[in-house]
Structure 1
Amino acid sequence: MVATARSPIPTERGLRLDIRGLAHAFELKGERLPVLQRLDLSVAPGEMVALLGPSGCGKSTLLRLVAGLEPLQHGELLADGAPIAGPDPSRVVVFQDPTLYPWRTVWDNVALGLQARGLLRQQRGRVDEALAKVGLGEFAQAYPRQLSGGMAQRVALARALVNDPRLLILDEPLGKLDSLTRIAMQGELIRLWQQQGYSGLLVTHDVEEALLLADRVLVFSDRPARVLAELQVARDYPRHRDDPHLVELRRQALELLGLGKDW
């Protein structure tokens, strides 16, 4: 990890997220499939919270609800006290797959959000700033086929940052990267979070990654998901994988996930 101890960024830049009594279900072959079960959780301004849980338990569904990409069925979703009724540039998702348009340059991919909002002509400089933040200024005119997996994910991050989000929603953003690139990108995520001061909601299946990146880690049950436990990570950055505190939290998380005896 290359990040330094967290700098005193004004938390007013980050968005406060409150989730109250949230429940959600899908219709599958005419039957109701419960996915989320009366969830209550919050993210403070400038806080990074990670979600751990079994595959298919509803973590990504929760992120889509927070992003406003799925309609709310039951409960409350509040951003700075106001109901979330749909997508908004203040809440931006970074998915596992960078989903870059192959016929557009890196610069043009990053500019998509501003272009869609009719702001590109007035705010072109923000594209260059976003690329500089992720260290890809020299690759502005490259095409996605010319990028490594880590570089492509940096482009996806720049595409999110160009909107100046107050909540960054991260859905397994490093899941497809090789181990060395993933470690480097973990440091990059921490650096950007410290620099920008946004709030963060991260889904990952990597227990160690959650403990390295987040202020708090919430462990979910199997579907329909509920919060089994909340783990406070009382360490500054950079964090180290062999820190006894993190090793103990990892053991607790794996036990909660039913994997304690296997590790």
Structure 2
Amino acid sequence: MVALEKAPEASTGLALRIENLSHGFALDGQHLPVLERVSLDVAPGEFVALLGPSGCGKSTLLRLVAGLEPADSGRLLADGEPITGPDPSRVVVFQDPTLYPWRRVWDNVALGLEAQGLLKTHAARVDEALDKVGLSPFARAYPRQLSGGMAQRVALARALVNQPRLLILDEPLGKLDSLTRITMQKELIDLWQRQGYTALLVTHDVEEALLLANRVIVFSDRPAKIQAQLSIDRPYPRHRDDPYLVDLRRQILGLLGLGESW
């Protein structure tokens, strides 16, 4: 098990275990392998980033961890219990905020509690989640009145209202402009440090992975296998020009086949 560096002091996160996981899809009558014998342990409260070539199976792995579909073979365990389907303790934040345009911000954030029949007794959680992401003044706004970064904050609040123990992040900042993305990276770390959940992030941005994660997992091309695991021995906040991070970025780009050209 990899030791954590500067993880939240009081972790509420769950432990994730992926054992010998393989998965694929049917394509034109043939089996297309996507993941091949992937094994990974994620400690409670750890922030792990997944990097790899586009289409190698990273997002597929997140869907399996979320319980949105069953794996072909292998095991997925949350706190030692098999993952057999979705659960409010494991919440996904996608690249697209997917907000309902006819619902105000407060009502979009309340969707999870409403679906579970908990809104009447736990409505205060919605206000707390909006406060955590700095959007309390916009509770009555509609999605069309928000910037891209604000809309993504609403998606984060919608996840946090369920008090997740594992936050599954599938390129949540991928569509943001560079300045908003830098701001949201800091906010993601602040939320993780305050809340203590386990975080699993898919990103194509090597620098982003190094700035956010305790550990970076580098996958091969499809069918994806783990090529390398790198622990990031730096406290937060991290700096892009840190020579240690610059060297790790060079190593990771080499593993991804980009070498010295970048």
Q: Secondary structure at the match of 2:150?
A: helix
Which amino acid is 2:29 matched to? G
Matches within 5 A, 1:109-188: 109-188=108-187
Consecutive unaligned residues in structure 1, runs of 5 or more: none
1:196 aligns with 2:195: yes
Matches within 5 A, 1:19-168: 19-168=18-167
CA RMSD of aligned residues (A): 1.0
Shift of 1:232: 1.0
Which amino acid is 1:259 matched to? L
Which amino acid is 1:10 matched to? A
Tell me the TM-score normalized by structure 2: 0.97
Which amino acid is 1:157 matched to? L
Task: Report the counterpart of residue 220 of structure 1 in structure 2.
Answer: 219
In the superposition, relative to structure 1, how do residues 104 and 166 fare at CA in structure 2: closer, same or farther (>3 Å)? same
Number of residue-to-residue matches in the alignment: 258
User: Cα deviation per residue 1:79-104 (whole Å; 9 max; x = unaligned)?
Assistant: 00000000000000000000000000
Which amino acid is 2:225 matched to? R
Shift of 1:117: 0.1
| Worse overlay, 67-76 or 55-64 | 67-76
Shift of 1:9: 2.5
User: Cα deviation per residue 1:25-78 (whole Å; 9 max; x = unaligned)?
Assistant: 100010000000000001100000000000000000000000000112100000
Cα contact 2:56–2:223 (8 A) shared by 1: yes
Q: Secondary structure at the match of 2:39?
A: strand
Distance 1:242 1:9 in 2: 27
Which amino acid is 1:9 matched to? E
Tell me the TM-score normalized by structure 1: 0.97
Which amino acid is 1:89 matched to? P
1:207 aligns with 2:206: yes
Poorly superposed stretches of 4+, deviation over 6 Å: none
Distance 1:197 1:138 in 2: 25
Which amino acid is 1:238 matched to? P
Which amino acid is 1:217 matched to? V
Distance 2:95 2:40 in 1: 23
Task: Report the counterpart of residue 243 of structure 1 in structure 2.
Answer: 242
Distance 2:137 2:59 in 1: 33
Q: Secondary structure at the match of 1:40?
A: strand
Which amino acid is 2:9 matched to? I
User: Cα deviation per residue 1:116-170 (whole Å; 9 max; x = unaligned)?
Assistant: 0000000000000000000000000000000000000000000000000000000
Task: Report the counterpart of residue 10 of structure 2 in structure 1.
Answer: 10
Q: Percent identity?
A: 76
Shift of 1:261: 2.5
Distance 1:262 1:244 in 2: 18
User: Cα deviation per residue 1:228-262 (whole Å; 9 max; x = unaligned)?
Assistant: 00111000000000101100000000000001132
Which amino acid is 1:180 matched to? L
Cα contact 2:20–2:39 (8 A) shared by 1: yes
Q: Secondary structure at the match of 2:85?
A: coil
User: Cα deviation per residue 1:208-234 (whole Å; 9 max; x = unaligned)?
Assistant: 000000000000000000000011100
